[in-house]
Amino acid sequence: MTRIEAQLRGADPRVAGGRLTIDLDAIAANYRLLAEQSTPAEAAAVVKANAYGLGTGPVVEALVAEGCRKFFVALPEEGLAVRKAAPEAEIYVFNGLFSSEAASFYREGRLLPVLNSQSDLAIWEAHGWDDANTPRPCALHVETGMNRLGLTPERARILAQENALTGALTPRLIVSHLACADTPNHPMNRQQLESFQRLSALFPDAESSLANSAGVFLGGEFLCDVTRPGVALYGSNPVSGTANPMRAVATVHTRIAQLRHVPAGGTASYGATPVLRDTLVAVTATGYADGYHRSGSGAGVPLRNALPEGACGFIEGKRVPVLGRVTMDLTLFDVTDVGPDSLQVGDFIELIGPNLPVDDLAAACGTISYELLTALGQRYERHYVRGGDRT
C-alpha cells in the first residue's frame, strides 16, 4: 500500500474506534444537481479544508469525472493537492498571497491566486509573470459587504483604470462573497448583487462569480458566469428551513467499547451527570478528539445552551441520547430502550448518516455542518464507496 492509500484508509479497521464512509456517487449526484441549478452559469467546486474534511484526492477525482473544471481552495498547499487529482483544471486560491515566497507555489501548481488587497496586487505584479514575460492569469476579489477579503470598491475602480493602461494584470475572474445567501429574503443579497455587478463590469474581459451553495438557490442574476458551491456538494442543506435537495455523503459510525449498567441515583462522565433511572450505557470509542463536539453533551451540561437534550446516535432503529459529557476519546449513550439482548461490544452506533443528517447533529451541538465536517478526525477508518456499496 502506498502512503497516500494508507492515509485515505485512515486507521486500521481491526482496531479503529469508528468508521467514516464517504459516498462518492452522492457527491457526483450533488454536483450534477448544482450544475443544473447553476445553468446557464458554470458550476465550479469549492474543495478547501481537505474537501470539507472528506479527502481532496477522491473528491476531486469524482468531480472531474462529472465535468467540473474549476476548483477553489483556501491555501496554496491545498491547491497543490488538487493539482495532483486534476491535471487540467483551473485552481483558484482564495486567501491571496501573504508574501512573495508564495509565488513559487503558484508557479509549481499552475495555481491562480485570488488577489484581495493592495499587497497581493503588488506581489503579483512583481512575481506573476511566466517565462515568456507575459502576466499570468489571476482572479480579483472585490468587497461588497463581508469585509473579510477583497479590494475596496474605490481600489477596484482605480485598478481597473490603471490596468486598462498598463495591462500588468490579467484578471480572468472577478469574485465576491454573499453574507446572507441562506436567508433568501435578506435585503443584503440584492445590495451585494448590485454592488458586485457595478464592480465586475469594470473588468469586461473577466468572468464573474458571486454564488456559494445557498447563492445557487437564489438563482437568476446571482448565478453570474461561475458558481462556487461547497457545503452542498457534501450533503448539507444549502437553504436551512426547507427540504434538503442534496444527497447525504458522509456516514460516521462509532464502536461500542463497553456496555454497562448504571443504577438509578448513579452518575456518569466528567462533572457527574446524575443518572435518573436504571440505565444501560454504551461506552463508545469516539470523542471530541474525533470531531464529535463536546457541545453535543447530554442533558445538564452548562456549557451548551443550544438544544437542552444534546446529541443522539442511532442503532437498531432507535435514536439513543448522549449521556453526560462527551470526552476526548469516549462518548456515553443511553441505550436502555434498545436493550442488552440486541447489543454487544464491537457493534456500531451511527453518529451521522441516513438516520442522523449532519445538519441535525450540527444543530444539536449549536454549530453548523461546515464545522462538523471539517473537524472530522483522523482516527476513523475511512471508506470511499460508490452508491449502495457500503462495505
Ligand X SMILES: *Cc1c(COP(=O)(O)O)cnc(C)c1O
Query: Is 48 in the active site?
Result: yes
The angle subtended at Cα 384 by Cα 255 and Cα 53, nearest 5°, is: 80
Q: Closest CB to ligand X belongs to which residue?
A: 230
Binding flag, residue 109, ligand X (CB under 6 A): no
Q: Nearer Cβ to ligand X, position 229 or 291?
A: 229
Binding flag, residue 212, ligand X (CB under 6 A): yes
The span from the CA of 362 to the CA of 367, in Å, is: 5
**Looking at 62-70, 162-170, 189-197, 225-233, which segment touches ligand X (CB under 6 A)?**
225-233
Q: What is the DSSP string of 178-195?
A: -SSTTSTT-HHHHHHHHH
Residue 248 C-beta: closest distance to ligand X, Å? 16
Query: What are the start-end ranges of the H helices in 10-134?
Result: 24-38, 48-52, 56-65, 76-85, 103-109, 118-127
Considering only residues 229, 235, 313, 324, which one is a binding residue for ligand X as defined by CB under 6 A?
A: 229
What is the helix (H) or strand (E) element at residue 359, kind and residue range? helix 358-364
Find residue 333's DSSP bridge partners.
282, 322
Considering only residues 79, 230, 287, 377, which one is a binding residue for ligand X as defined by CB under 6 A?
A: 230
- Nearest C-alpha neighbor of 24 from the set 237, 248, 353: 248
Residue 230 C-beta: closest distance to ligand X, Å? 3
Residue 48 C-beta: closest distance to ligand X, Å? 6
Residue 213 C-beta: closest distance to ligand X, Å? 3
Binding flag, residue 213, ligand X (CB under 6 A): yes
Query: Is 84 in the active site?
Result: no
Considering only residues 19, 70, 83, 228, which one is a binding residue for ligand X as defined by CB under 6 A?
A: 228
**Selected catalytic residue, list 31, 48, 52, 92:** 48
The span from the CA of 279 to the CA of 9, in Å, is: 36
Binding flag, residue 70, ligand X (CB under 6 A): no
Binding flag, residue 46, ligand X (CB under 6 A): yes
**Selected catalytic residue, list 52, 70, 92, 270:** 270
Name residue, grid cell 450505557: 281
Q: How far is CA 302 from CA 289, 291, 297, 307, 372, in A?
A: 20, 20, 10, 11, 21
**Looking at 227-235, 255-263, 273-281, 289-297, which segment touches ligand X (CB under 6 A)?**
227-235
- Nearest C-alpha neighbor of 41 from the set 242, 248, 218: 218
Residue 64 C-beta: closest distance to ligand X, Å? 18
Binding flag, residue 208, ligand X (CB under 6 A): no
Residues 6+ apart with CB under 8 A from 300: 273, 274, 324
Binding flag, residue 296, ligand X (CB under 6 A): no
**Looking at 15-23, 29-37, 156-164, 222-230, which segment touches ligand X (CB under 6 A)?**
222-230
Binding flag, residue 231, ligand X (CB under 6 A): yes
CB 138 within 8 A of CB 113: yes
DSSP 387: T
Residues 126-185 within binding reach of ligand X (CB under 6 A): 177
Can you give the binding site for ligand X, defined by CB under 6 A?
46, 48, 94, 177, 212-213, 228-232
* Catalytic annotation, residues: 48, 270
